[in-house]
Amino acid sequence: MIDVYCFSGAGHSAEVAAHCAERLGGRVISIGEETKCRGERVLIVFPVYCENLPPPVAGFLRRAEAGCAALIATYGGMSYGRVLYDAQQLFPGSVIAGAYVPTEHSLARDGWRFDGAPLASLLAKLSEGGTEIMLPKTPKHFFSDFAPAWRSRIGAKLVRDGNCTGCNACGAACPMGAMQQGRANRDCIRCLRCVLACPQGALSVRLSPVLKHYLRRRRCNDTIVYPD
């Protein structure tokens, strides 16, 4: 059985993880603050946020105890930088495969459908076992290392409406410990898990015109699988 560890804000990486777990016959394990990555072979699925790893994923990879892993980074058709390379640098075991998988952009909601077919070779390699590979240092923007958590909040305002009952389901769902009764502090990375978790639908994200314009056109829809 090969388990699939997954971090997902708005559900897109979770959809990819569920697809892979079904084919691998394993469980999907959600990555939380305390989650330990264990197993001889595992799959780890996570999104790209501002060309970076979400902070909870970086911590999870650092403390992993698994022997070897395949890594899948989902992205919203803009840019993925060198996130897989960064993830391999943090993971203490060996990496035998990797993929960048395009999904809908969680901030743009552009309707892009994930296609699992190109992942067949990665899943086969993971099932059979394989040798370590070096994931490439793909190009990234010169500013991608500059305050990614802060950049993920720019132009994406979290809005709480009058339906909020103060139940704090958002606080319980937040992977950064940044939400309190519908209000986010400066640790919020806009993963949007709170928006999904609110039973009243009282939370939404409002994009600035500049960000809306930037997200209007997808720049890349390729699924890249290593080794190809």
Ligand X SMILES: Cc1cc2nc3c(=O)[nH]c(=O)nc-3n(C[C@H](O)[C@H](O)[C@H](O)COP(=O)(O)O)c2cc1C
Amino acid (1-letter code) at residue 133: I
Task: Pick the binder of ligand X from 26, 41, 51, 226 (CB under 6 A).
Answer: 51
Judged by beta carbon, residue 48 or residue 69, the one nearer ligand X is 48
Q: Which of residues 87-106 bind ligand X (CB under 6 A)?
A: 103-106
Number of residues that bind ligand X (CB under 6 A): 28
Let me know: does 126 contact 94? Beta carbons within 8 Å. no
Q: How far is the C-alpha of 215 from the C-alpha of 106, rounded, in Å?
A: 10
Task: Pick the binder of ligand X from 8, 20, 72, 135 (CB under 6 A).
Answer: 8
Let me know: does 100 contact 122? Beta carbons within 8 Å. no
Let me know: does 194 contact 203? Beta carbons within 8 Å. yes
> Any contact of residue 74 with ligand X (CB under 6 A)?
yes
The least distance separating ligand X from the CB of residue 108, rounded to whole angstroms, comes to 8
46: tokens are 């996570």
**Cα diameter, the chain:** 55
Judged by beta carbon, residue 10 or residue 21, the one nearer ligand X is 10
Q: How far is the C-alpha of 40 from the C-alpha of 10, rounded, in Å?
A: 29
Q: How far is the C-alpha of 72 from the C-alpha of 99, rounded, in Å?
A: 5
Task: Pick the binder of ligand X from 4, 5, 13, 195 (CB under 6 A).
Answer: 13
Q: Which residue is nearest to ligand X (CB)?
A: 76
Closest CA to 72 of 20, 37, 149, 127: 20
Task: Pick the binder of ligand X from 28, 42, 48, 70 (CB under 6 A).
Answer: 48
> Any contact of residue 56 with ligand X (CB under 6 A)?
no
> Any contact of residue 82 with ligand X (CB under 6 A)?
no
The least distance separating ligand X from the CB of residue 165, rounded to whole angstroms, comes to 25
Q: Which stretch binds ligand X (CB under 6 A): 5-13, 28-36, 58-66, 85-93?
A: 5-13
The least distance separating ligand X from the CB of residue 29, rounded to whole angstroms, comes to 15
Q: Which of residues 146-205 bind ligand X (CB under 6 A)?
A: 152, 190-192
Let me know: does 175 contact 193? Beta carbons within 8 Å. yes
Length of the chain: 228
Judged by beta carbon, residue 67 or residue 114, the one nearer ligand X is 114
**142: DSSP letter:** T
The least distance separating ligand X from the CB of residue 188, rounded to whole angstroms, comes to 10
* Exposure b/e, 31-60, CB count within 10 A at least 16 = b: beeebebebebbbbbbbbbbbbbbbbbeeb
61: tokens are 């990879």
Binding footprint of ligand X on the chain (CB under 6 A): 8-14, 47-51, 74-80, 103-107, 152, 190-192
